Structure 1
Amino acid sequence: MASASNPSSANRPVSASQGHGSTPADFLKAVLGRPVVVKLNTSIEYRGILACLDGYMNIALEQTEEYVNGELKNTFGDAFIRGNNVMYISTTKT
């Protein structure tokens, strides 16, 4: 699993629009190993470290927390999310 190469940058937001010619793929590469929020079609949010993802947007998170209606419901060491359930991926709010 990937880890952050620069821990001091782990909490700085990354935007897909940063830089010229930036794409969603560039954004996903930039946040690999960093804290993210994954929102599902059901409005449930998972927050954790983006460990890896594939071309189908299947996601593996580490140090995962599950939030339902903004309230922490569960914590997991690792979580795997099927890509067709994902509404969006964003960096964590600071």
Structure 2
Amino acid sequence: MNEQRLMQVLLAPQISEKATFVADKHDQVIFRVVSDATKAEVKGAVELLFKVSVESVQMANVKGKKKRFGRVAGRRSGWKKAFVCLKPGQEINFVDGGGV
């Protein structure tokens, strides 16, 4: 795969209460990814950037919420998230700036 493309696949880690619960229970990390990313690209990007081994990747499309500003109804844009399952003993620590 193209290394330049892999550097653009991951947008940000998804840090939330649910993401922390999933990380503790299933050894998974959740990332916000570009909308046309594939599982293979996400796996390659995580292994390249964080130097960890990835066991599997699950993807989900998140629909944008409906929002209103007075009479004007609108919608936030949707996005894609990836649940990255790490092999046992692997860990990504975002507090220390990434890495193992």
TM-score strictly above 0.5: no
Q: Normalized per residue, which structure has more strand? A: 1
State the TM-score, normalizing by the size of structure 2: 0.28
